[in-house]
């Protein structure tokens, strides 16, 4: 058994799509980044890679490579999943948390689990996603950005 932790944060910006867990969420701002800036999927990918001792997503999907510009994080998760399976690991479970003031995302969580479960080749029941606010504190609380943490157990 191996455990990994992941974290990601991106700034919110007008005129961009907000994608979390592979779900396009209706909101007036989206996350700014080189890929689709899906903080939840990025935190999970980093946790998986870390647990397997394979570095992080910046190492495998660098923003200096044009082929990763605007890449879907579902593709990143598929590729990360393939990497760990080649190394003899499988995902036991994922626990994650999104930190944001707005929008409210509870209604999207099941779709996020479906998308990520499909991309990772695991049952969605192995994925836990929670969302919380910071009660107005920090960059998330001021509505400047969104962050996510994830913990993954591999066997």
pLDDT at 62: 83
Cis status of the peptide bond prior to 103, with omega within 30 of 0: yes
CA distance 87 to 20: 28
- pLDDT tens per residue, range 62-73: 888 888 788 899
Give me the architecture of the 2-154 domain, per CATH.
Answer: 2-Layer Sandwich (3.30)
- pLDDT tens per residue, range 34-82: 889 999 999 999 999 999 999 999 999 988 888 878 889 999 999 999 9
Domain range annotation of the chain: 2-154
Mutual angle of helices 39-51 and 73-86, in 10-degree steps: 10
């Amino acid at each position: 058994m191996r455990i990994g932790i992941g974290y990601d944060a991106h700034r919110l910006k007008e005129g961009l799509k907000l994608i979390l867990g592979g779900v396009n969420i209706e909101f007036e701002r989206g996350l700014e980044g080189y890929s689709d800036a899906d903080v939840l999927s990025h935190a999970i990918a980093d946790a998986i890679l870390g647990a397997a001792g394979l570095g992080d997503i910046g190492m495998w999907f660098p923003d200096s490579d044009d082929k990763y510009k605007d890449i879907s994080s579902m593709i990143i998760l598929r590729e990360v999943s393939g990497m760990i399976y080649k190394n003899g690991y499988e995902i036991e479970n994922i626990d994650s948390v999104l930190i944001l003031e707005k929008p409210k995302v509870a209604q999207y969580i099941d779709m996020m689990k479906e998308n990520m479960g499909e991309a990772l080749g695991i049952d969605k029941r192995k994925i836990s996603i929670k969302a919380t606010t910071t009660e107005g504190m920090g960059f998330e609380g001021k509505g400047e950005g969104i962050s996510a943490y994830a913990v993954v157990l591999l066997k």
